[in-house]
Amino acid sequence: MSTPQTTRDPSTAAGPDAPKSSPLPLAVAFLTLLAIGTDLFVVSPLLPAIAGEYGVSIGAAGTSVTAFSLAYMVGAPLGGTLADRVGRRGVLVIGLTGFALANILTGLPLGFGPLLVARVIAGLFAAGVTPSLLALVGQSAPPARRGFWMSTAMAGFLISLTTGAPTGTAVAAVLGWESAFFGIGILALVLAVVNRFIWPRGAGAVAPQAGAGRVPLATKLRAVSVTGIWAFAVYSFYTYLGSGLEDVAGLSTGVIATALIVYGLGAVAGSLSGGRLADRYGAGRVAVTSLLLLAVALVVVDLLVHAPAWLLLVSLGLFALTAYPCLPAYQSRLVATFPTESGSVLAWNSFFMYLGTSVGSAVGGALLSSAGFRWIPVVGAIAAVIGAVVYHRWSLPRQKVGETA
């Protein structure tokens, strides 16, 4: 018989009266995060057209991506706190509405300055959408299937990584770059209405403990540090993967494109499997195992960088497959550990994911220019091991917090 994990891993606790929730809200959550992710990744192939439209360099046009990301990072903690204090469904609907209008504003021919302002607004409102939605998913899911629900919702965002750029290219080629933003805006407005009515009664209400027994900010930041370390380990490597495959492995453009597709498929499969594994074996065990396997996979990729192309592609797929179970599993654990303030905790989790990605990209760039590409996976592997140790020794309290007796 297995030992109950309620004390060490509350994400696995499921009482006999666990609710049987409809999967329809989960499908809506998937589509909502797909729209949010597409808005971020769709811009890259549109940069030449935007630059030509407004007479700026492609580099200057690229600041629109930076503006969105920075606004998201700044707005996420505020959006998550509002979700916990005002109501998660209300913040979600308002966030989607503002996000939709900002995208429509982005597509209007008002000039490059207004476009940058629109991207900032879109990032701020998107920052309220993601933590509110994930908190609703974690709150509404049957406890025994929380990991599966969280991973399915996050799969929408991960799939946008591989579909956003091709979609943007196709739409821009046929209808013009503005139509991509109009389409996202209209979709977000529809999703705002659907999210208003799809969630079960009471799912978006303010937690009854709000205002008492609040979790200290230091406890939240300590908890989400694991996500920041995970993002550093993954994206310090992924950001320069294309460069490494071309310059070090000597692969052609076509093979590199195939490698990125394999990586994306592995990431989606890893995320989905992470949720199911977390429900079965415990979110904590899955998160730690994923971090350790991530470290091993990075070392393997480094050793195989001059191997035949097919073997290197297989190793990249396995890298993504082992790396991405960590994120949904750990988010499930956060929801279970901080039930009354999951919105703000997940918001800080998103903040640290973006922060870890940014710092990882910067460190990876420094390593690429100084020591060479092959040192990047080594440093990433060390970071992944540190993340596993931080989780095991320091990051989370051993029982639910934020609730009053």
DSSP sequence for 142-159: -GGGHHHHHHHHHHHHHH
**What is the pLDDT, as a whole number, of residue 16?**
36
Q: What is the rounded distance in angstroms from the CA atom of residue 36 to the CA atom of residue 345?
A: 19
Question: Do 127 and 76 form a contact (C-beta atoms < 8 A)?
Answer: yes
Residue 212: its pLDDT value, please? 45
Tokens 């480094």 correspond to 302
pLDDT along the chain (405 residues), means of 10: 42 42 84 88 81 88 85 86 82 94 94 94 91 86 86 85 70 84 94 90 55 74 93 88 84 83 87 89 92 95 90 92 92 86 86 86 87 92 96 77 46
So what's the architecture of 217-395 in CATH?
A: Up-down Bundle (1.20)
Could you count the other beta carbons within 10 Å of the beta carbon of residue 13? 16
Domain range 22-198, CATH class: mainly alpha
Q: Is 210 helix (H, G, I), strand (E, B) or coil?
A: coil
Residue 17's pLDDT is: 37
Q: What is the model's pLDDT at position 7?
A: 36
Residue 264 and residue 189: Cα distance in Å, rounded? Answer: 28
pLDDT at position 375, please?
93
Whether 298 contacts 378, CB under 8 Å: yes
pLDDT of residue 314: 92
For the chain, domain boundaries: 22-198, 217-395
Would you list the DSSP string of 238-278? HTTHHHHHHHTS---HHHHHHHHHHHHHHHHHHHHHHHHHH
Nearest to 103 by CA among 40, 153, 169: 40
pLDDT value of position 285: 92
Confidence (pLDDT) at 14: 42
Q: What is the dihedral of CA 345, 63, 261, 257, to 10 degrees?
A: -160
Tokens of 128: 């309220």
pLDDT at site 397: 76
